[in-house]
Each structure stands twice: as C-alpha cells, then as structure tokens.
Structure 1
Amino acid sequence: MDPAPSPVPLLHRLANPGRFLRATGRWMPPLWAVSGLVLGIGAVWALFLSPADWQQGETVRILYVHVPMAWLAMAGYAGLAVTSAVALIWRHPLADLVARELSPVGATVTALCLATGSLWGRPMWGTWWVWDARLTSVLVLFFLWMGHAALTRAFEEEERGARAGAILALVGVVNLPIVKFSVDWWNTLHQPASVARLAAPGMHASMLWPLLVCAVGFSLLFGTVVVARARAAVMERRVEALELARARAADRPARAEALLA
C-alpha cells in the first residue's frame, strides 16, 4: 500500500506563487463584483430600509459599519496568526507575503472600528473616548496590527522582518479573547454582545439582517483587497527577479571582455 501523501508538499504545491496567480486571476473579477453587490445591498438596506432605534435614533446606523469592522479586526488578526504560524513552521515565502499584505488592511479596519466607535460613543456616552477594557484592548489590537506592518518592513532582509512580524503576530493572539470577553469580565461602558451569543440575539430581525448582510459584504471586500495586494506583491517580486536576472546576464559579457583584455 502506498503511503499517504505528506501534507507539507501538498501545502507547497497549493501555495506555489505561479498557481496562486493563475487561480486568483480567475477569482478576482467575480470577487470584486460579488463583494460590491452584497455591500451595496447591505448599505441600501441599512441606511434607508432598516428602522431607526427608539432610543438612539438615526445614530444607530453607525453600527452597520462599526460592528463589521470590529469583527473583521479580530477575524483578520486570527488569520494573520494562522499565516504567521504556517510561515514559521513550513517557511513558505508566500505565507510571509500574505501576512505582510494583510497587516495594512487589518490596521485600516481596526482604525475604522475605533473611529466609528468614537463617533457612536459621543452622543451615547457624552464622550469621544473612555479607557475601559473593550476600547483599550481594541486600541492594543490596532497597535499590534501597526507593529506587524512596521516590523515586516523594518529590515533590509525581508526574511528577518517576516520572522519578527510572525512572532509578534503569534504573541498578540492573547489579546483576542481579551477583546471578545472584556465586556463580560469587567464593568465597562461598552454594551455586551448582542449578536454572537449562545442565547437568541438581542437585536430585532429588522436590524440584524441588514447588519449581517453588511458584515458579509465587508468581509468579501476585505478578502478581495488582501488577495489583490498579495497578487500585486507576487508580481512585483517576479519583475524584480527578472530585472536582476537580466542585469546579471548583461554583466557577464562585460566581465568576459575584461578578463580577455
């Protein structure tokens, strides 16, 4: 009986830059179209068709951006940790590249989460910011995203930067449960979970469904942007390698002439 194929070579075949470009090249047009369509439906539903909150009024519409950004900030960081672990264990350069291109997008959605939360908190709490557990832990998450983006670009040797960033990403995973359960562990101004909980969601269906559609749309857009950035980075490296090969090939005749002179 033939032995089962090793998962490591399979992982390397699936993560091959050439296969990655060919596969994602077919996916990109439908991904952009579907993400734009779903996000457009969610935006119209959230802004014009969903009801205003009896207590918060029209201000509640901020949640249709704030909540998906918060979910993506955490889910994206979990994805960053997974790609970092793959890069450290199997040392595949494509995993490092995806992690490198993921961190600016993750930092952007986390910044949007903080900004929309501040805009929402001002009329609800009477202040732009409070140093409670949820807000502080999300701010720490933003600094982790920024730290990873900075570390991966701080070294002339990309491999050293990728390794440093991967270690930071894995250490920072400890902050994710703090973000998630901070409203349950400590007394904070931030409201507890009203969607992702074991009991029934504490949100009416007329607001829950447009929120979920917006979340799906933002998630598709997030993934599409990351894939597009990764494709651009792969193609940039291929161009750099081609230019280096051409420079070396052009230098060989000059060296030969110098030796014969």
Structure 2
Amino acid sequence: MTVVAMVWLVAFGLGFSPADRDQDEAVRIMYVHVPTIWVAYMSFVVTAVASGFYLFGRSKALGWDRLAGASAEIGTIFVAATLVVGSLWGRLTWGVFWQWDARLTTTALLFVTYIGYLAVRRLGGSHQQRARRSAVVGLLAVLLIPLVHWSVRLWRSLHQEATVLDTDGDIDMDGLMLFSLFVGVVAFTLFYIWLVLHRTRVMAMEDMMDDRGLDLALASRRAEVVPTQKLEEN
C-alpha cells in the first residue's frame, strides 16, 4: 500500500497536477513539504499519547514507552525533512534558503526539542527510569505544536498561511492539486505507520538483549562470588 501510494504521489504531484499561478512549478514541493510536517505533528502527538498511557496507566507497560520513542525518532526525521524541503521551497519563492521567520524558527525549535527528547532517552538507568523521564518530556514537548501551527497568525510572517483552507475556512485550491496533496498525506502516513511498527519491534529486541546481557553479567558475578566463599570457608 505504501509503495502504491508513493507511486500515485509521484504521478499526480509531478505529472497530472497543474502549476500554480503565482509559484509556477515550485508549488510541486508542497506535495512533499506538507505531508512531512503532517507526519511530524502526528508522530509527536502519538509520542505524547503513548507517554500518557505509560505514565498514568496502571500496567506501566514498556510497550507504550517503545511506541513513544519510535514515534519521536521518526517524527524528528520528518521535521528535519520539513526544514530541508522548506528551505528549498524558500529559495525558489523568497530567493533565500533561510529566514528567521516565525514559522521556520518555531519549526527549528520543535526539531531541537525532540533532539533533546531523544537525548533524554539515552541517559543511563533502568528501562523504567528511561520510560518515566521520557514520558514527562514527551508530554511537555507536544505543547510546541500549536505554537508552530499558529505562528503565522501570531506574528508577521513570510510563510504563507494554511495551504488548503483560507482564513474564512473555504477550500482555496484547484481540485487536482488538492487530490495530489491528499495522496501525499496518505502516502507519508502509511510510510510512517510502516516505520513505527518496525522500529518498535527493533526496540523490543534491543531491550530484550539488554536484559539478557544484565542477567549474564549477574550470573557471572555470582559465579565469581561462590568460589571465593568456598575458599574462605576452607
């Protein structure tokens, strides 16, 4: 499904959809740019929800922590992609790769925040300690998303406002362009789901290997202690 959706995206985004009246062919970057930030937002919301289930749920299942971590990793990659693709779009429309614009700056802040979240996950301690502190950061970090989304209205910005809906809530886009954008969102969402499923499995295997390594270390330590005790008794 993901591959089929990506093929459709390429076909409609590059072939069938028309050029824009103002941006000409540069508008085609939108079919990647908008889906990447959508997936990033969704990833961080999933991280926050999974963190909440771990922190406030009764079971304290580490599966929620793995889901939160996997989703945050993927979301961080997609934010980076958003910044790169957005810079290319900015070069074509504004004439420069970067401006300290409200939307760009808050998006960069979002990226740095989740780099920090991933760093917190790398700190020492048990799986449970990692899960608790990461859950707190995950719940706080998601509060940046509304700031990023509404930054174009809160401050004067070079960045355009909503791509699909105008300020009156009306759809202000050609039908084929809108369909191409929809295909892009579906394709990248399916790609995200595939990535997060595989990453959570890998994280579960990593935790299992860590636990086995700890068990082996404890067993080795006990094996060293027993002969020493026997020598002391003799």
The range that moved more, 102-111 or 47-56, is 47-56
- 2:44 is matched with 77
Aligned partners of 2:161 and 2:207: how far apart in 1? 45
- 1:224 is matched with 194
Shift of 1:200: 2.7
Aligned partners of 2:12 and 2:130: how far apart in 1? 43
Q: Secondary structure of the residue that 1:218 maps to in structure 2?
A: helix
The range that moved more, 179-188 or 104-113, is 179-188
Q: Residues 237 and 165 (structure 1 numbering): CA distance in 2 closer, same or farther, change over 3 Å?
A: closer
**Number of residues paired by the alignment?**
228
Do the aligned partners of 1:151 and 1:162 also contact (CA within 8 Å) in 2?
A: no
2:108 matches 1:143: no
Q: Residues 104 and 253 (structure 1 numbering): CA distance in 2 closer, same or farther, change over 3 Å?
A: closer
- 1:179 is matched with 148
- 2:12 is matched with 45
- 1:129 is matched with 98
- 1:114 is matched with 83
Q: Residues 194 and 248 (structure 1 numbering): CA distance in 2 closer, same or farther, change over 3 Å?
A: closer
2:58 matches 1:88: no
* Letter aligned with residue 165 of structure 1: S
Aligned partners of 1:46 and 1:209: how far apart in 2? 9
* Letter aligned with residue 68 of structure 1: P
- What TM-score results when the alignment is normalised by the length of structure 2? 0.87
The range that moved more, 86-95 or 223-232, is 86-95
Aligned partners of 1:249 and 1:162: how far apart in 2? 26
Q: Residues 246 and 68 (structure 1 numbering): CA distance in 2 closer, same or farther, change over 3 Å?
A: same
Aligned partners of 1:152 and 1:256: how far apart in 2? 36
- 2:134 is matched with 165
Q: Secondary structure of the residue that 2:51 maps to in structure 1?
A: helix
Do the aligned partners of 1:195 and 1:203 also contact (CA within 8 Å) in 2?
A: yes
Shift of 1:130: 1.6
* Letter aligned with residue 122 of structure 1: R
Q: Secondary structure of the residue that 2:18 maps to in structure 1?
A: coil
Tell me how large the CA RMSD over aligned residues is: 2.3
- 2:208 is matched with 238
Q: Secondary structure of the residue that 2:97 maps to in structure 1?
A: coil
Specify every segment of 5 or more residues in structure 1 that has no aligned partner in the other structure, as ranges: 1-33
Shift of 1:255: 6.0
Aligned partners of 1:244 and 1:125: how far apart in 2? 55
Q: Deviations over 1:132-181 (max 9, x none)?
A: 22111111111121111111112243433332222222222221111122
2:34 matches 1:64: no
The range that moved more, 104-113 or 170-179, is 170-179
Aligned identity (percent) is 34
- 1:152 is matched with 121
Q: Residues 257 and 204 (structure 1 numbering): CA distance in 2 closer, same or farther, change over 3 Å?
A: same
Do the aligned partners of 1:86 and 1:95 also contact (CA within 8 Å) in 2?
A: yes
Aligned partners of 2:134 and 2:222: how far apart in 1? 38
- 1:26 is matched with none
Aligned partners of 1:166 and 1:101: how far apart in 2? 13
The range that moved more, 168-177 or 206-215, is 168-177
Q: Residues 53 and 242 (structure 1 numbering): CA distance in 2 closer, same or farther, change over 3 Å?
A: same
Aligned partners of 1:48 and 1:146: how far apart in 2? 36
- 1:55 is matched with 22
Do the aligned partners of 2:51 and 2:65 also contact (CA within 8 Å) in 1?
A: yes
Q: Residues 258 and 185 (structure 1 numbering): CA distance in 2 closer, same or farther, change over 3 Å?
A: closer
